[in-house]
A and B are shown apart, each in its own frame.
Chain A
Amino acid sequence: MNKKILLVCFLGLFLLANVQNALALGITPGRTTINFEPGLHQEVSFSIINSGHKDMSVVFMIRGEMNESVTLNQLYAEFNASEESKSFTYAVDLPQRIETPGKHEIEIVAVEMPKDLEEIGMVVGATLSVVTQLYIYVPYPNKYVEADVNVVESGGEITFLIPVVSRGKLDIVNMEAKIDVYSWSDEKVTSLVSNSDSLLSLERKELVAKWKPEVAPGKYKAVVNVVYDEDVSTIEKEFNVGEMFLEIRELVVKDFQLGEIAKFSALVENKWSNDLKDVYLNIIVYNNEGETMADFKSPTYDIGSLSQEEMIAYWDTGGVHKGTYDGKLILRYGEKATERNIQLKISDDKIEIIGITGNVVVRGSKFNLTNILLIGVGVLIAVNIVWFVIIRKLLKKR
């Protein structure tokens, strides 16, 4: 009986300890790629990241169709809390021949374990493991490319970076990417063509196309056709143009009596060309000491694309005195939030809200680096001219 109680206490304590400590584990690189060569021997290194900064053990395993081609130099490792990361290696020994062309995948799995596992004997609670993948590419006998697309938005311009890798034994004489951009409602917005280039067998190159979008902010889809000699490889990617943006057009309190429930009515505009779901308003009011006096929220609303919606939030003003209070108006949508500092002037029958439509203009200093340099050079030239003229005059006098 005592043993049972001890075991339950022990398990309970361990469970508590396990839950209190967050689990965290990382591995880098997430993927290593090797092009097949008969009988290739290669050492590949990877690192385990102790992102939780704690004492732990890590057990390694190998999985996959060609797992016999990989030998781990170490099957188990221990980490101290002070150790940020540790490097390990595995050896890859490829056979003389692999029948099937294409990708062959092997996984090296790192499983996090408690450091004192041998003493505890078992793990209670969630466990984490991370994988570093080894992709072995056996070349296709013909022309074959694999492509991806990365979309970078900067300075109002969209850049489509299209890495293209030749996975065939034959060189590609000419390739280019044709990109069709579609709106969320599947209407074609624009068509673009990248630069063209050649590609040697097993080589990697990037194709680039640029687009200055003159469309409403929102989600779009790029359909990228990489045309290489007589073949095509198609990829699709969703991307954003601009930022998800909601604007508070107006915030008013109608028919107010101090001590009763105040109805805050906000007119909110969705400037994003997609519907936004679960949007809500959060109003925080601070007292004169800066402490939170009230914190109230509206229900959640779905706001259609490029449209306006009235959002309502209620505040019970029982016990609230007349006066001017600082506050904060937060509009939350997804992981984003629009925040405004406001002031509430509360009287017996009115709440006036200041700070909703006011604009703050930040005036940039004109003394940037260019101006400083130009002024510096100008002053130097002027000083030199004056100096030169004075010396010349003195010399003439002599």
Chain B
Amino acid sequence: MNIKMINKKFNLEKKIILAELILVIGFLVYLFFSFSPKQISPLNGAVIIEPNFVFEIENGQEVLLSVYENFDEYVVLDENSEVTLAPGTYYWKVRNDFVESEIRTFTIQSHVGLNIEEGEKLNKLVNSGNVDLEVEKKTGSKVTGLILGVNEIKEVEKDNSTYEGSQYE
């Protein structure tokens, strides 16, 4: 076997190793992007006024939630977690066993919501917002007050009363 042939064989082997390397790296890059954790909702910069919302994620196991952009302190949420968050701005990311997603932010904006639903004998006063309410009831010249928690329902008389809801505390 002359030197020219040895060189040719060596070059071919080099090319094969290079091709193999490209293939492996390409596959790993594909896996990295395909299986990297993704945030679906809430959208980045979303303003949330609903009393209940869910984190929708893909390829992730946990949501990291923080009031700090640098995640100095954070809360870890898994699939079964249920938390009550006060109005404010929050930062969140998703992680799986390998990597974390980018950081996104959302704001919970206080929403004062009051509903009166018709009941059989009594009406139902419902706090449909995302903050506790101080409700003032005016019936003629009589004024009374009550506190209504988020999603809380209280039965009230069917009358001509005026109900005024404002954010409590």
Which residue of B has the minimal Cβ distance to A124?
Answer: B160
Question: How many angstroms from the CA of A19 to the CA of B84 in the assembled complex?
Answer: 33
Closest CB of chain A to B58's CB: distance in Å? Answer: 10
Contact B24 A380 (CB under 8 A): yes
A29-B109, A49-B113, A206-B67 are contacts. A152–B85 as well, Cβ < 8 Å? yes
Q: Given A125-B160, A154-B76, A155-B81, A369–B128 Cβ distance below 8 Å? A: no
Nearest residue (CB) in B for A22 is B117
Interfacial residues of chain B within 67-120, with CB under 8 A of chain A in the complex: 67-68, 72-73, 75-78, 81, 83-88, 96-98, 109-118
Of A95-103, A260-268, A387-395, the one contacting chain B is: A387-395
The CA of A208 and the CA of B74, in the complex, are separated in Å by 9
B111 touches A49 (CB 8 A): yes
Q: Which of A30, A51, A395 contacts B115 (CB 8 A)?
A: A51
> Cβ of A126 and Cβ of B110 under 8 Å apart?
no
Expressed in whole angstroms, the Cα–Cα distance for A148 and B88 within the complex equals: 12
Are the C-beta atoms of B166 and A126 separated by less than 8 Å?
Answer: no
Taking the complex as formed, is A107 at the interface, i.e. its CB lies under 8 A from any CB of chain B?
Answer: yes
Q: Is A52 an interface residue (CB 8 A)?
A: yes
Q: A152-B83, A384-B23 are in contact. Are A19 and B166 (CB under 8 A)?
A: no
Q: Can you list, as one digit per residue, whether each of A158-171 has a CB less than 8 Å from chain B (1) or not (0)?
A: 01010100000000
Determine whether A132 belongs to the interface, using a CB cutoff of 8 Å to chain B: yes
Contact A369 B114 (CB under 8 A): no
Q: In the complex, what distance in Å separates the CA atom of A216 from the CA atom of B78?
A: 22
Closest beta carbon of chain B to A124's beta carbon, Å: 7
B117/A130 in contact, CB under 8 A: no
> A263 vs B23: C-alpha distance in the bound complex, in angstroms?
72
Min CB distance B51 to A, Å, is 10
Residue of A nearest to B158 (CB): A19
Interface flags, B122-155, vs A, CB<8A=1, else 0: 0100001101000000000000000000000000
Bound form: Cα–Cα A155–B109 in Å: 26
Residues of B within 8 A of A305 (CB): none
A373 touches B (CB below 8 Å): yes
A129 & B162 in contact (Cβ 8 Å cutoff): yes
CA distance A148 to B27 in the complex (A): 50
Residues of A with C-beta under 8 A to B110: 28-31
Please name all residues of chain B whose beta carbon is closer than 8 Å to the beta carbon of A124 when the two chains form the complex. 160
Cβ–Cβ contact A208 & B111, under 8 A? no
Contact, CB under 8 Å: A392 / B123: no
Q: Can you report 20 A-B residue pairs in the complex whose CB atoms are below 8 A from each other?
A: A19-B118, A25-B115, A26-B113, A27-B111, A28-B49, A28-B112, A30-B87, A51-B113, A126-B163, A127-B161, A150-B86, A152-B83, A153-B83, A154-B81, A206-B73, A369-B35, A370-B97, A380-B24, A388-B16, A388-B20
Residues of A within 8 A of B (CB): 19-20, 22-31, 49, 51-52, 107, 109, 124-133, 148, 150, 152-155, 157, 159, 161, 163, 195, 206, 208, 210, 369-370, 372-373, 376-377, 380-381, 384, 387-388, 391-392, 395
11 further A-B pairs in the complex, CB-CB below 8 A; given A129-B163, A152-B75, A206-B67:
A24-B113, A24-B128, A127-B161, A128-B162, A130-B164, A131-B112, A154-B78, A155-B81, A163-B67, A195-B73, A210-B73
Binding site for A on B (CB under 8 A): 9, 12-13, 16, 20, 23-24, 27-28, 31, 35, 49, 59, 61, 67-68, 72-73, 75-78, 81, 83-88, 96-98, 109-118, 123, 128-129, 131, 156, 158-167, 169
